Amino acid sequence: MLELIFGIIIIFGVLYTLQMMLSTDVEINRISPFAASNHFHPVTILKPLKGVDDNLEDNLRSFFELDYPKYEILFGICSHEDPAIEIVEKLIKRYSHINSRLVINSDSNFLNPKINNLNNIYYHANYEYLLVSDSNVKVGSDYLKENMKLMSLPGAGLVTSTIRGTGARDLGSTLENLHLNTFVAGSVFLINNMFHYPVVIGKSMLLKKEVLKQINGFKAFANYLAEDHLIGKEVKKAGYKIYHSSYVINNINIHWTMKRFFNRHLRWAMIRKRLNIIRYLSEMLINPILMAFIYMLINFNYESIAYMGVVSAIKIIFDFKMATAIGADLKWFYYLLVPAKDIIIGLIWFVPFVHNKISWRGNSFFISKGTRLKPA
């Protein structure tokens, strides 16, 4: 009986991964809608910064080199001692033809540091269209045009993009990019393709000021961890459509310790559990390697070891094809780490049931329902 139960769950997980792979191919090859040049309205890019992320100068430079008629960049920093200031000022001077400003504001009224930073710089925006973009993102020159094409569609309230992890040089960053380029990207494409429910990714959110005002601005999400998910939820509730762009942007992850990898995925697990417990529980059904590993430990013999090997090989192939489809830069042999990565993330899945404290950008919080934060 136990063998049958595990077998059904594992087969379901393999089929789910197959469907992610197929959806990735469909979404990546989806043709962007045509947009007349008069739909390329001026855009304010909001860049909240803290510290020097991997490849920060090149990441920020890519936004100065966008092929777009008219835009401005607002950089937000909360401390006059932040080392990112030197990099920003250097780029502003070099690209003096681009309207860009650095806003240093130490006001800290909210628990979510990103929202606090965004709220400080939002009032300096000159244009109706706002693009929220994280500091560890690097984009191509056509990125803004591709997103604005979707924003010109009827009823559009928010446009988001899929991320692709690139640049890994350490074990932690390799595991992170493996997960981003397979399970995360694949799930985002699957949910959008099959259920027409775009997953809002905070690293790239394009929306109108008017829409942001209707959902009470950034401050409405000031004390929540999952601000991107909640912003998307409120935009939909306000009657607008959310569009998911097939344009993939680079999330630069170069030097990561394993501790950072664990902390990131513990934080994500905390978020998912407190947003929707039913969906969180269902995640056990879509991690076939973890289930095969648990079955092998329970029923340790040659057959269960072979079963674990077959499931791992299938998952590696599917993940490799998914990551290749989105243009991942990981070498083929890194995919041999997929089983270890899935087992680690699967074990982290259990932690939120006995733990509710997170560490984020130097701050410690307790996290409750809806990802509401309380100082720890």
Please state the domain count of the chain: 2
Coil, strand or helix: which one is 338? helix
Q: What is the pLDDT of residue 2?
A: 81
Percent of the chain with pLDDT over 90: 85
Q: Which domain holds residue 119?
A: 30-255
Tokens of 251: 């999330």
pLDDT greater than 80 at residue 31: no
Same domain, 334 and 310: yes
DSSP letter at 183?
I
Confidence at 227, pLDDT banded by 50, 70, 90: very high
Category of 252 on φ-ψ map: left (φ > 0), alpha (ψ -120 to 50) or beta: beta
Q: What is the pLDDT of residue 109?
A: 80
Same domain, 232 and 321: no
Confidence at 18, pLDDT banded by 50, 70, 90: very high
pLDDT greater than 90 at residue 246: no
What is the per-residue pLDDT across 33-91, written as a single tens digit (0 to 9) for each?
A: 877 667 899 999 999 999 999 999 999 999 999 999 999 999 999 999 999 999 999 99
Cα–Cα distance, 286 to 264 (Å, whole number): 20
Same domain, 238 and 267: no
Same domain, 278 and 248: no
Cα–Cα distance, 242 to 235 (Å, whole number): 8
| CATH number reported for the structural domain that contains residue 94 in this entry | 3.90.550.10
Interacting residues of 38 by C-beta distance below 8 A, sequence separation 6+: none
Same domain, 7 and 151: no
Q: Average pLDDT of the chain? A: 93
Tokens of 18: 């197959």
